[in-house]
Every structure is written in C-alpha cells, then in structure tokens.
C-alpha cells in the first residue's frame, strides 16, 4: 500500500520531493511493529531502495528513526515533536476530563477525532473491555464518510472539507457504507438538524457509533467526540445525550459556540 504522502502527490500530479519521500518513509511504519526492514519500508512507501537507504541515514542522524538489529524503528525525537504541537496538545489536554466522564457514564469506547483532508485522525481513545474490534487506533486514520466522528465533522465543517471527501471518492468498507454523494448529503442535512451523527456498521461489521461535533468560536467543527459499541447492544438514542453534553462542554471550554438541536431528547 502506497503511503498517504505518495498518494497525495500522485493525485496532484506532482513528483514527491526529497522531503515528501522522507515523510513517505516515516508514514510506512505501522503500530505494533518493533522494527521494519529496509526493503519492506521501501515497498510500503514507494521510495526506491537506494534513495530510502540514503534518506533513512539522514533521518537517523536527526534521531527521527533508529537503526535496530534487522531494520529501523521510529525515533524518540518524533515523540518529542508530537508533544509540542499546540492545537492537538491543547485539545487533548482540555478534552481529557470530559472524555473520562463520558467513559465512566457509559462504559463504552470513547473517541476524540480531528479532521485531516478526506479522513479523520483519532487523537484520543478510551477502549471499553469486551467491546467490538473497532477499526480505529490512537493516531490512526479512517475515511470521514463512514464514521460517526467524520460525519459530524462534515456536517458542521466548511464546504471544502466535504469537497475533499467527495473528490477522494466514497470507498465502501462494509455493505452498509454510504457510497452515493446524494445519500451522504441527505444524511449530513439530518445531522445538522439533530446535532448528532450515527454510524451503524458502516466502518466495520458489528460496530455502532454516535458522535457530536466540537465547535470553535466561529461555529465550525474542529473535532468530534463519539461513543462506539456493539451494534446489537449499543442504544445510540440512550447514550446520545451524554455524547452531546460532553461535546458541548468541550466546545465551551475551548471558547466555541454551541450546536443548536431541533431534536427532542430521547
């Protein structure tokens, strides 16, 4: 699988620069891997092996990767840099108590996600024991159109956010994934009325989710909070008020505007 960096450059008709190739190499590392060999990293990133070897040596000199016995692993410097990203750091720190309260109240898996192009990135996750195998991970990505958090971000985001999703294509992940732009548009209109987004086995089999947007002062969604669980067990109408309350509280803590809902509480 080609990296997001390489795919983005290809879509734009631009040959990746050396910086782009270095980022593609860094994007080739996957969660849970203690190390990865040069040949496999070159294959995943789409970077020629000699170029990959040269770039990895430079990345190593900056402590962005570390050489191991049989390959490479990400370096500690990346972790240090991640801790000083202002927007995500402030969002995560502010959100932590609200997410913890939501988890305690529902005992279901809780997510906090932010938009990035046609995808969402999960910046916090509190996993519930005994829950379904949810296709998300901390720092991981999912298509926006088939997730609760993604649809909340699309419904309350700027037009260019939805345009990016449509341009990327509505890929099918399960038989229930919405792949028609018209159907997605109708669903987003309903989400704007209710202030809540739901997903029922669109991102993964057996998974249900309800999400609410976190708003900035201008009334644009900058993040979304969700609860996920087994589709045959999670009553989204029952937990929806708790999700909405957590998102509203975080919006206010960040100085954002409330989402007005025209739907009565269940």
Q: Which residue has the higher pLDDT, 8 or 234?
A: 234
Inter-residue contact 254 to 189 (CB < 8 Å): no
pLDDT tens-digit series, residues 81-106 = 766 655 556 788 889 999 999 999 99
pLDDT tens-digit series, residues 169-198 = 999 999 999 999 999 999 999 999 999 999
**What pLDDT does residue 189 have?**
96
**What pLDDT does residue 265 have?**
41
Q: Which DSSP state fits 145?
A: G
Global pTM exceeds 0.75: no
Report helix, strand and coil shares of the chain as percent, to nearest 5: 45, 20, 35
pLDDT bucket at 138, cuts 50 / 70 / 90? confident
Distance CA 157, CA 197 (A): 13
Distance CA 230, CA 115 (A): 25
Report the pLDDT averaged over residues 132-159: 87
216-228 burial string, b = 16+ CB within 10 Å, else e?
Answer: eeeebbbbbbbbb
Cβ count near 148 (within 10 Å): 31
């Amino acid at each position: 699988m080609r990296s997001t960096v390489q795919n983005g450059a290809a879509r734009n008709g631009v040959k990746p620069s050396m910086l782009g190739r270095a980022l593609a190499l860094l994007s080739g590392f996957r969660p849970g891997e203690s190390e990865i060999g040069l040949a496999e990293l070159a294959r995943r990133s789409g970077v020629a092996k000699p170029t990959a070897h040269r770039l990895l040596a430079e990345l190593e000199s900056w402590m962005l990767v570390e050489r191991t016995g049989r390959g490479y692993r990400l370096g500690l410097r990346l972790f240090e840099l991640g801790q000083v990203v202002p927007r995500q750091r402030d969002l995560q720190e502010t959100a932590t108590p609200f997410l913890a309260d939501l988890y305690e109240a529902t005992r279901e898996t809780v997510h906090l996600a932010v938009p990035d192009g046609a995808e969402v990135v999960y910046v916090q996750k509190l996993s519930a024991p005994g829950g379904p195998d949810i296709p998300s991970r901390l720092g991981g990505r999912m298509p926006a159109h088939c997730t609760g958090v993604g649809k909340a971000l699309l419904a309350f985001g700027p037009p260019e956010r939805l345009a990016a999703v449509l341009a990327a294509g509505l890929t099918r992940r399960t038989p229930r994934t919405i792949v028609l732009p018209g159907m997605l548009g109708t669903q987003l209109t309903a989400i704007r009325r209710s202030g809540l987004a739901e997903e029922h086995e669109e991102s993964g089999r057996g998974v249900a989710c309800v999400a609410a947007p976190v708003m900035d002062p201008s009334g644009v969604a900058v993040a979304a909070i969700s609860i996920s669980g087994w589709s045959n067990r999670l009553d989204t109408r029952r937990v929806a008020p708790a999700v909405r309350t957590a998102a509203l509280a975080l919006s206010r803590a960040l100085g954002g505007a409330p989402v007005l809902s025209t739907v009565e509480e269940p």
